[in-house]
Amino acid sequence: MAVRVPSMELNRSPPLLSGGRGKTCLQKPFIVQAKRSGGLEKANTRPQGPQASEKLKKREPLTRGTVSAPLPVPGHIPRPPYVGSNKMPEISSERQMQDKETIVHMKAACELAARVLENAGKLVKPSVTTDEIDKAVHKMIIDAGAYPSPLGYGGFPKSVCTSVNECMCHGIPDSRELKDGDIINIDVTVYLNGFHGDTSKTFFCGEVDEASKRLVKVTEECMLRGIAACKHGVSFKKIGRRISEHAEKHGFGVVEQFVGHGVGRVFHSQPIIYHQRNNMPGQMVEGQTFTIEPILTMGSSSIECDMWEDGWTAVTTDGSLAAQFEHTILITRTGAEILTKC
């Protein structure tokens, strides 16, 4: 589940720090303040890419369905500290480090999240509602004795995020039926034995056009290239450079407003992981756990987003498709271990 930051390319008003429900992507929850940095100009020179000439299946704009009541969680299941308050938690300054004992719990949470995500993906087919997916995910998580981390986070009303077509992320499950040709990102986070495991994947619904398939394929490749850049002592900014290079090569835009984050006992913490070119300081340290979760869009001009009135659903301003993949990783001396690999 991504953290939101202001655009690093545009000069805009500062965001609301908690509970904001604005109409643009820059005034909303999940906020950390990012400073404008140099070395980013190249990101605005992306070619349109071959997808501009590929035939896209016609889609109606995404509309909100009816959102059902939050699902109950048995009383014996431990809750994260933020549950019970609609206030948006602050981004923790703690850089979460794992030792031999805590990594066992961290791996268990991540493995559960990965299994739930794969099973949720099997439900994706035309006529299925995202609310049905939410119910299935909720049951899988609580049956495992875990808590669905999104539920109650800053007032989020559901147990999973389901982001369809032009929705970049944080889509709220509702009564809308999936349609043939849709793409949908399912973002699962579980809280098990005091640790969060966070992962997401974009799935195809029915017969999907080639341009959409290519967007999804390149997005996953970008995430994996970002992960491949990681190991002890490497600068965090290398992640954004690797992702941007691959996205630009294929003519896709990298969304700047949503970033990866530290994860462990705390849902969202430092370090903040930027997926675009940046000059942010900091180096990876063995034992750190964090997410890499790039969002790509069709073309370089479609990385801006609008916020729905629910304060969560972020959609591309121009209606272009968006895709996202996410893994939680552990930094090692020689590389990075993917903890949410099923």
Residue with tokens 């809280």: 191
What letter represents residue 233's amino acid?
A: G
What is the DSSP code string of 252-295? EEE-SSEEEEE-SSSSSEEEEE-SS------B--TTBEEEE--E
187 is in an annotated binding site: yes
232 is in an annotated binding site: no
326 is in an annotated binding site: yes
105 is in an annotated binding site: no
Q: At a CB cut-off of 8 Å and minimum separation 6, what does 71 contact?
A: 134, 135, 138, 151, 158, 159
CB 317 within 8 A of CB 305: yes
Q: At a CB cut-off of 8 Å and minimum separation 6, what does 41 contact?
A: none
Q: How many CB atoms lie within 10 A of CB 93?
A: 9
261 is in an annotated binding site: yes
CB 157 within 8 A of CB 168: no
For 79, the enclosing helix (H) or strand (E) is: none
Beta strands in the chain (DSSP E): 3-4, 147-148, 161-164, 167-169, 183-192, 195-204, 252-254, 258-262, 269-273, 289-292, 295-298, 305-307, 314-316, 322-324, 327-331, 336-338
DSSP 16: P
Report the candidate in 322, 251, 246 with the shortest Cα–Cα distance to residue 277.
246
Report the candidate in 2, 168, 193 with the shortest Cα–Cα distance to residue 91.
2
Q: How many CB atoms lie within 10 A of CB 61?
A: 8
Angstrom distance (rounded) from CA 215 to CA 288:
30
Positions at the binding site for a divalent metal cation: 187, 198, 261, 293, 326
Positions at the binding site for substrate: 170, 268
Positions at the binding site: 170, 187, 198, 261, 268, 293, 326
